[in-house]
Amino acid sequence: MSDPWIIAVMVLWVVVIIQGIVIFALARQVGVLFERVAPMGALITDGGPKIGDASPLFDLVTLAGQTLHVGGPAERSTLLFFLSPTCPVCKKLLPVLKSTAHAEKGWVDVVLASDGERDKHEAFVKQHSLTQFPYVLSTDLGMGYRVNRLPFGVLIDQEGIVRAKGLINNREQLESLFTAKELGVASIQSYLGAAPAEQG
C-alpha cells in the first residue's frame, strides 16, 4: 500500500475516533438534560372555565342509555376525558386511562366524551373494551369546555368546581391532573414556577 493510501486510512480512523468521542459526549449531555428537566403537566388552554370556576351544568345520556349529570355537587369527583376514535394518541392512552381509573377508583369517576356518529363510537367502545366507562356524545359538552385538541381532560371535584384541565399526551400529563388537585394548584407548571420564587 502506497504512502498516500496509508495516510488517508489513518486520517479516516482519526475522524471515526473523534466522531465516537463526540457522540458519547452528546449522549451523556442528553442524559443530564433529561435528569434536569422537570416533569411536564397537562398543557392548559385559555378557553373554557378557568381552574377554580364552577363547571357548566350538563344533563346527558350515555351510549348505554343512562342519564349522566356533569357539573354541580356530586358524591365523587369526575374526570372528563375527551377523545375520538380517529385520534391515534387517544388510542395509545386507553390502557393508561384504564389503569389510572382503577388506581383512583376510590374517589373519581372517569367519563369518556366525544361527538359524531353513534355507530362509530359504539364500535370503538366494543373494539377497545370501554364498557366500564360512561361514554357520552355531546357537541355542547366539548364547546362548554372549549376543547379544540385531543385528548383533553377536565377534572371536576365533588363541589362541581374545575380543579385541573389540559391537553394530555402521556401518563405523566394524565396523572398531573390529580397531582394539581392534591396540591391545590392550577397546574404542575404553575407549582414548579412558584417553587423557585418561594425559595428566593
Residue 102 lies in a domain: yes
List strand residue ranges (DSSP E) for 35-87, in order: 58-61, 67-70, 77-82
Compute the distance between CA of residue 112 and CA of residue 1 in angstroms, rounded to an integer. 72
Q: Tell me the CATH number at 176.
A: 3.40.30.10
Residue 181 lies in a domain: yes
Under DSSP, is residue 112 helix (H, G, I), strand (E, B) or coil? strand
Same domain, 10 and 77: no
Residue 79 lies in a domain: yes
Residue 4 lies in a domain: yes
Same domain, 96 and 130: yes
Range of the domain at 33: 1-37
Under DSSP, is residue 2 helix (H, G, I), strand (E, B) or coil? coil
Question: In total, how many domains does the chain have?
Answer: 2
Cell of 5: 493510501
**Selection from 27, 44, 9 nearest residue 165 by Cα:** 44
Compute the distance between CA of residue 145 and CA of residue 124 in angstroms, rounded to an integer. 23
Same domain, 128 and 159: yes
Same domain, 92 and 186: yes
Same domain, 70 and 6: no
Cell of 74: 356530586
Question: What does the pLDDT profile of the chain (200 residues) look like in tens digits?
Answer: 567 788 888 889 988 899 989 898 888 777 655 544 444 555 566 678 999 999 999 999 999 999 999 999 999 999 999 999 999 999 999 999 999 999 999 999 999 999 999 999 999 999 999 999 999 999 999 999 999 899 999 999 999 999 999 999 999 999 989 988 887 776 655 555 554 444 44
Same domain, 7 and 72: no
Q: What CA dihedral angle connects 21, 22, 25 and 29, to 10 degrees?
A: -170
Compute the distance between CA of residue 90 and CA of residue 47 in angstroms, rounded to an integer. 21
If you count them, how many residues does the chain have? 200
pTM: 0.74
Same domain, 65 and 116: yes
Cell of 189: 407548571
CB crowding 187-200: b at 16 or more within 10 Å, else e: bbbebeeeeeeeee
Same domain, 90 and 140: yes
